[in-house]
């Protein structure tokens, strides 16, 4: 079974309403309006996500699971936590979007600015909870 098929099976099992799109540009995201996840099955960089997961969420099993699993679960987490988030700081999200990945890669404060956005935080917490429940 291919990595793509495993991801398809996982998402179908936990969120069959979500549409999956695969890309190869090292970018993953959840599209709220269409319940679509775009995912790169072989990301080259995590942009500090795993370090944030370990450091800020105090997840002591961060490195027990591959980045692609965390990414998929985080993006599914957006679907399941949509009602938990009233509104992110739009200005903060725009600032984060304009900062180059090269700059963000080496700057914990910039990484925290993005990953601590309410919608990002609760989606990550959902992923952690999911792993704890099935673990």
pLDDT value, residue 88: 67
pLDDT value, residue 104: 84
pLDDT value, residue 135: 74
* pLDDT tens sequence across 89-120: 678 878 888 888 888 888 999 999 999 999 99
Look up residue 20 and give its DSSP letter: E
* Number of Cβ atoms within 10 Å of the Cβ of 72: 23
Q: Which three-class secondary structure state does DSSP give residue 7?
A: helix
Residue of 47, 23, 22, 39 lying closest to 75 (CA atoms): 39
* pLDDT tens sequence across 21-71: 999 876 899 998 899 999 998 877 788 999 999 999 999 999 999 999 999
d(CA 13, CA 11): 5
Q: Mean pLDDT over residues 124-128, rounded?
A: 98
> Token pair for residue 18?
């979500």
């Amino acid at each position: 079974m291919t990595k793509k098929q495993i991801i398809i099976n996982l998402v179908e099992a936990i969120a069959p309403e979500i549409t999956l799109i695969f890309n190869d540009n090292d970018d993953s995201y959840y599209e709220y309006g269409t319940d679509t996840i775009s995912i790169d099955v072989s990301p080259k960089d995590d942009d500090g996500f795993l370090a944030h997961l370990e450091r800020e969420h105090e997840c002591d099993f961060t490195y027990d699971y591959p980045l692609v699993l965390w990414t998929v679960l985080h993006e599914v987490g957006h679907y399941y936590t949509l009602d938990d988030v009233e509104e992110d700081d739009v200005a903060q999200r725009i600032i984060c979007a304009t900062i180059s990945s090269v700059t963000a890669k080496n700057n914990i404060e910039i990484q925290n600015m993005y990953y601590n956005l309410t919608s990002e935080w609760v989606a990550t917490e959902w992923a952690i909870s999911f792993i704890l429940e099935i673990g």
